[in-house]
Amino acid sequence: MTTAPPRPDSPYQSYVYAYPHKTAYRPLPERPPLRELWAGEAQHALSLYLHIPFCEVRCGFCNLFTRIGSPEGLTTAYLDALERQATAVRAALDGGARFALAAFGGGTPTYLTAGELERLCDIAERRMGADLRAIPLSVEASPATATADRLEVLAARGTTRLSLGVQSFDDAEARSAVRPQKRSEVEAALGRIRAAGFPVLNIDLIYGIDGQTEASWLRSLDTALAWQPEELYLYPLYVRPLTGLARRGEQESRAAWDARRLALYRAGRDHLLAHGYQQVSMRMFRRAASPQAGAGEYACQTDGMVGLGCGARSYTSQLHYSFDYAVNATEVRGIIDDYVATEDFHRAEVGHRMDGAEPRRRHLVQSLLQAEGLPLADYRARFGGSPAEDFPAELAEFAERGWLDDGDAEFLRLSPEGLAHSDAAGPMLFSPEVRALMAAYEAK
């Protein structure tokens, strides 16, 4: 494990799953009313995300917005606040607003009891107007919380995709990543999930853990493959500030760790391709001919994301907004307590304005990092030009590094080597303004 900053030529600069990152968000002095933010926005196919910021344990690598455990009554108070927020947000949308997909994330949504999960679904349906049985619904779970009663609720309420955070089937590797679980418990959870009948099972795995070898990595992959998951996510290990692993200090040189992660990525990618999986992005692999329930949630280029909960983001075409962000346990508890005490959710508090070239950058970043690439005609129709005209220096450097595939004139697409370096390519496309904001952010 290493806590040193990434080398300038490291393939692992930053995991880019949204642009800009939350560390570029700042308090909004004007606190704009949500009704004004959503006025004029396309609302016929919105995405709905509900965030549950609780986990039973905190993994050593985790820098997500979550707290461990909850005092008596806190989950009820949190759901009360979520309901107040949902009422305010729905009032800010127009009468014709419709949701095309939904997701529950965290934290661990299945930290909630079966009864609380029923209430969470009720908030999505009755307060927000999302028909969960008619649209793709993705829910994240952990092995310990994937109990039969919770899974029964989620299946009955229309969940189409259940994502299980496993990270490793090797008990020693799980301990090394500060994830206290046993393989037998993970496999028991997978049995319950399969019995519940969700159309899509996703398994998350991590490579780059201390002590992990190519042989142990492939054994974890084969154990996962035995369950025939429709999707697999392969994540490189990152050690973030204020996380459990960061407190351990440096145990491996950055160059050696980079080389090991890259070798494990390639071994895992090739193994899954040989077993009939298609690569969707650097991280995501989908079994050929499997259902694509919730596939639309990966098309993050579009706006129209409505987030509920103190760790959720919302995206309009003009502003990305959320609540405050932290990793430190004390800070997280304070933010959750403030959220629970909030009565008025009619205004945006923290965010980043999407003006100038930022929408073009966002579209390019989140399209190019998909294996399919960016259809140039779509970009032209939306922005009236081409990526090569708008970002000549960045794309020229990609080409020089061999990261672009020039085999299809209709698409801008990363080469296999470019896809392997997605975590370096993505940050290279950030605007100078976003880079400055992220650099100035003080972790808390």
HSE-up (13 A, CA, CB side) for residue 344:
8
pLDDT digits (tens, 9 = 90+) for 300-333: 446 799 999 998 999 999 999 999 887 777 888 8
Pairing of strands 404-405, 350-353: unpaired
CATH of domain 358-437: 1.10.10.920
- For residue 149, what pLDDT is reported? 98
pLDDT digits (tens, 9 = 90+) for 331-351: 888 889 999 999 999 999 999
Hey, what CATH topology would domain 23-298 get? TIM Barrel (3.20.20)
φ, ψ at 55 (rounded to 5°): -140, 155
Q: How confident is the model at residue 378 (pLDDT cuts 50, 70, 90)?
A: very high
pLDDT digits (tens, 9 = 90+) for 50-68: 999 988 765 545 556 667 7
H/E stretch holding 433? helix 432-440
- For residue 241, what pLDDT is reported? 52
pLDDT > 50? residue 25:
yes
What would the mean pLDDT of 157-171 be, rounded to a whole number? 95
pTM listed for this prediction: 0.92
Q: Which of 9-13, 66-70, 223-227 has the highest mean pLDDT?
A: 223-227
pLDDT digits (tens, 9 = 90+) for 108-125: 999 999 999 999 999 999
Residue 88: C-alpha distances to residues 271, 308, 352 (Å): 48, 10, 21
pLDDT digits (tens, 9 = 90+) for 348-376: 999 999 999 999 999 999 999 999 999 99
Ranges for all domains in the chain classified under CATH 1.10.10.920:
358-437
Report residue 321 as tokens.
């907004």
List all residues 6 or more positions away from 122 whose beta carbon is below 8 Å from its beta carbon.
none
- For residue 345, what pLDDT is reported? 97
Omega into 136 within 30° of 0, i.e. cis?
no
Ranges for all domains in the chain classified under CATH 3.20.20.70:
23-298
- For residue 249, what pLDDT is reported? 52
